[in-house]
Structure 1
Amino acid sequence: MADVDVGKLSFAELVALKAQLDKEIEGKRGEELKVLADGYVKKLQHAGFTVSEGIDALRPYEETKHAGKGRGSNAGSTAAVLYQDPSNPSNTWSGRGRAARWLADYEAAGRHRDEFKVSST
């Protein structure tokens, strides 16, 4: 990689360089995300899962990532797992906010939330 002495560039040159870098970064981001997604899909299919099941399994991570943003000093902090899906241990819920979809589905089928509580031993 060629070293660029950005200290010697003018403001206009820096702005042009930044625009070029932003474009390259976004292109590389898209390429690398596609490679990762393709690998994830292949692993899911090899293990006998559908892509939809894989996406559903990722939802708790996305919910945790956005939970509590902008509210108090604990904003963005990750809460401890209180509930876990026995058929898919990656499905977890902290007990905060609206119940996770997997847990709500179990409850709709007549099961009780306490069945899925993680023991604290």
Structure 2
Amino acid sequence: MAKIDLDKLDLDELKTLQKDVARAIDQYEAKKRKEALDAVEALAREKGFSLSELTGAAPAKKGKAPLPPKYRHPENPALTWSGRGRQPAWIKEGLEAGKSLDDYLIGK
């Protein structure tokens, strides 16, 4: 490796060098980590397992699927609610007007 004479660099060059070295170290570590993970996953597959099965870790989720709607607005079928989370305003208004949640059920 070429030796760098740090005494000849000004402050901006030293800071740039510091950032470049930190970035290079991060990239090197990420590359080695990926290589190790790939090798372990390949060995697990070779033995008939997935890595998550062996480590007890849950496989990565891609996000929750939205819940199917349970309630529908009687006049505007585009307005629905799954029954979870905060009640929509149209449900609250209907309940205050004396209706029940059963009045909004889909497929009753």
Mark the structure with the bigger radius of gyration: 2
